[in-house]
């Protein structure tokens, strides 16, 4: 539970101290910081600051209330750690990577072999979470995989087979009859029945609800702008106060560099803004679509999980700034050529954070093992979040997660430079 600290014994850093004096000075009517309360005047800045700057205590502080941080916070709280989740905006919100109502889940992937066990585990965890909140968070929906390059479609089919599922190959005529599409004879296609649609907003809501129910604390509007660490302790600071804890977990999504670089962790991450477009859907069945013609930028379509029949279509690329005109034109052209969608209803904005190999990064601070970070989840992190959250909780509590996470370490990037400034 939050408490007001005795800052006298906490020796605030010069920066905090100058802020305390500034706040206390602003609120007082005289040049000397004096704060008047119901009980009478309190005469010095230390005591004034006690009432103005909050100080929280926790076993673990998690920065980032997107789906990764929320799942990790839940796992930590379930493991008996008093956990405080901080976010610069009140979670859930739409400003990072976890907003919106729908995501795709599937087992097929082009990641390292170790990823498959994690994806399977994540499906089981989402199903368990659905049971706990008595709500269907993931609905089975076949994924129609299409492409004008047969080798790309075959590569995807092999990945489906590796997951223990059998791709259902379709002819162009069968596909166009079933999905009301207009694919041409140069396309190859199959259905992947391991896929599903996630109710993304309900998933995040459910995880935050369960976290609060088992005693976890959530603070929104709490931007962390400084971190200090020592042997077995960390302290994070922001305009709303200071949190001291034994462990720190950083899940900052597209804001990763702002938090990690001052800690001396420099990783080749690229935050990219992109757009998704929502179209009226009179006839495409409840299913997802993946076009793998270009391995550089897949085109996805999925049920938007909004009232009425609406499909969300994602261009799978970005110029970094989310240039709407360019992305809208690309999507509109694809829809008018191949898909039975109606008019465009609206657009959604989303950030993703790419590492050079498009795989995520789970690691520890090189000099402070009590600081762990999880970043770079690109366009695939939602489905795997409960498993990543469990692994992160194990990393912070000294338990064996039972997964080989070596391929996801930061040391795979030769450009990584660690210069700890803590
Ligand atoms: C268009 C699009 C489609 C996608 N489709 C799929 C899909 O079909 N399937 C799938 O599995 N994945 C998909 N993804 C990827 C998935 O959504 C992301 O990988 C996942 O949401 C990443 O979550 P996160 O918690 O790492 O980041 P975020 O959700 O961005 O959370 C980071 C949080 O940290 C907070 N924060 C940052 N800095 C600070 C600070 N200094 N102080 C306090 N708080 C801070 C932010 O406010 C934010 O809430 C898609 C992504 C996009 C953009």
Q: Which of 316, 318, 305, 299 is nearest to 278 (CA)?
A: 305
Label residue 195 left, alpha or beta by phi (over 0 means left) and psi (-120 to 50 means alpha).
Answer: beta
CATH code for the structural domain at 57-132+201-269+355-422: 3.50.50.60
Q: Which of 126, 195, 287, 379 to mutate to test the pocket of ligand 1 (most atoms within 8 A of CB)?
A: 379
Q: How far is the CA of 196 from the centre of ligand 1 (A)?
A: 19
Segments of the chain assigned to CATH 3.50.50.60: 57-132+201-269+355-422
Q: How far is the CA of 219 from the centre of ligand 1 (A)?
A: 18
Q: Which of 89, 96, 102, 375 to mutate to test the pocket of ligand 1 (most atoms within 8 A of CB)?
A: 96
Write the residue with the smallest CA distance to atom 1 of ligand 1. Answer: 350
Q: Which of 196, 381, 387 to mutate to test the pocket of ligand 1 (most atoms within 8 A of CB)?
A: 381
Q: How far is the CA of 291 from the centre of ligand 1 (A)?
A: 23
* Phi, psi at 7, each rounded to 5°: -65, -20
Give the CATH architecture of domain 142-194+270-353.
2-Layer Sandwich (3.30)
- Two structure tokens written together for 115: 């990823």
Taking the CA of residue 68 as reference, the ligand 1 atom at the shortest distance is 25
Segments of the chain assigned to CATH 3.30.9.10: 142-194+270-353
Q: How far is the CA of 69 from the centre of ligand 1 (A)?
A: 9
Q: How many alpha carbons fall within 13 Å on the CB side of residue 350?
A: 27
pLDDT tens, per residue, the chain with 422 residues: 332 222 222 334 455 445 544 544 444 333 333 333 334 444 445 444 544 456 778 999 999 999 999 999 999 999 999 999 999 999 999 999 999 999 999 998 889 999 999 999 999 999 999 999 999 999 999 999 999 999 999 999 999 999 999 999 999 999 999 999 999 999 999 999 999 999 999 999 999 999 999 999 999 999 999 999 998 999 999 988 899 999 999 999 999 999 999 999 999 999 999 899 999 999 999 999 999 998 878 899 999 999 889 999 998 777 666 567 888 999 999 999 999 999 999 999 999 899 999 999 999 999 999 999 999 999 899 999 999 999 999 999 999 999 999 999 999 996 544 444 45
- In sequence order, which ranges of 344-410 are alpha helices (DSSP H)? 385-397
Count CB-CB contacts under 10 A for residue 362: 21
Taking the CA of residue 352 as reference, the ligand 1 atom at the shortest distance is 53
Write the residue with the smallest CA distance to atom 14 of ligand 1. Answer: 379
- Two structure tokens written together for 337: 């050529």
CB burial string 218-249: b at 16+ within 10 A, e below: bbeebebeebebeeeebbbbbebbbbbbbbbb
Q: What pTM was estimated for this model as a whole?
A: 0.88
Taking the CA of residue 314 as reference, the ligand 1 atom at the shortest distance is 1
Q: How far is the CA of 94 from the centre of ligand 1 (A)?
A: 9
- Two structure tokens written together for 298: 């897949």
pLDDT of residue 185: 98
Q: Which of 255, 385, 388 to mutate to test the pocket of ligand 1 (most atoms within 8 A of CB)?
A: 255
Residue 165, Cβ density class (10 Å: 0-12 exposed, 13-18 middle, ≥19 buried): middle
The pocket around ligand 1, CB under 6 angstroms, is made up of 63-69, 86-89, 91, 96-98, 103-104, 223-224, 251-255, 259, 274, 276, 314, 350-352, 377, 379-383
Q: How far is the CA of 367 from the centre of ligand 1 (A)?
A: 27
pLDDT of residue 295: 81
Q: Which of 87, 196, 303, 392 to mutate to test the pocket of ligand 1 (most atoms within 8 A of CB)?
A: 87
């Amino acid at each position: 539970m939050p408490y007001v600290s005795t800052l006298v014994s906490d020796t605030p850093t010069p920066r905090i101290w100058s802020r305390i004096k500034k706040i206390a000075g602003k609120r007082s009517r005289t040049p000397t910081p004096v704060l008047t309360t119901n009980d009478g005047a309190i005469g010095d800045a230390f005591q004034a600051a006690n009432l103005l700057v909050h100080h929280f205590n926790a076993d673990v502080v998690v920065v980032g209330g997107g789906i990764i941080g929320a799942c990790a916070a839940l796992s930590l709280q379930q493991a008996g750690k008093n956990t405080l989740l901080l976010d610069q905006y009140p979670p859930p919100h739409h400003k990072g990577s976890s907003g919106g109502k729908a995501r795709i889940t599937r087992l097929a992937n082009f990641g390292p072999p170790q990823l498959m066990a994690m994806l399977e585990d994540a499906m089981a965890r989402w199903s368990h979470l659905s049971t706990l909140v008595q709500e269907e968070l993931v609905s089975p929906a076949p994924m129609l995989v299409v492409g004008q390059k047969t080798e790309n479609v075959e590569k995807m089919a092999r990945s489906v087979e590796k997951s223990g599922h059998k791709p259902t190959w379709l002819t162009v005529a069968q596909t166009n009859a079933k999905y009301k599409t207009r694919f041409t004879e140069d396309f190859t296609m199959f259905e992947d029945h391991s896929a599903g649609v996630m109710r993304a907003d309900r998933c995040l809501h459910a995880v935050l609800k369960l976290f609060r129910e088992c005693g976890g604390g959530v603070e929104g509007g709490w931007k962390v702008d400084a971190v200090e660490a020592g042997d077995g302790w960390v302290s994070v600071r922001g305009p709303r106060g200071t949190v001291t804890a034994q462990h720190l977990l950083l899940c900052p999504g597209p804001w990763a560099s702002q938090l990690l670089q001052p800690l001396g962790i420099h990783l080749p991450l690229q935050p990219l803004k992109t757009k998704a477009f929502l179209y009226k859907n009179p006839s495409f069945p409840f299913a997802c679509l993946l076009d793998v013609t270009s391995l550089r930028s897949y085109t996805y379509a999925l049920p938007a999980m909004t009232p009425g029949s609406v499909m969300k279509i994602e261009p799978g690329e970005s110029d970094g700034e989310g240039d709407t005109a360019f992305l809208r034109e690309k999507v509109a052209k694809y829809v008018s050529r191949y898909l039975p969608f109606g008019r465009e209803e609206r657009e959604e904005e989303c950030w993703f954070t790419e590492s050079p190999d498009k795989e995520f990064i789970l690691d520890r601070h090189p000099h402070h093992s009590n600081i762990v970070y999880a970043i770079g989840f690109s366009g695939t992190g939602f489905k795997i979040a409960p498993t990543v959250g469990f692994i992160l909780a194990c990393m912070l509590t000294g338990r064996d997660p039972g997964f080989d996470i070596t391929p996801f370490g930061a040391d795979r990037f030769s450009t990584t430079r660690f210069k700890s400034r803590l």
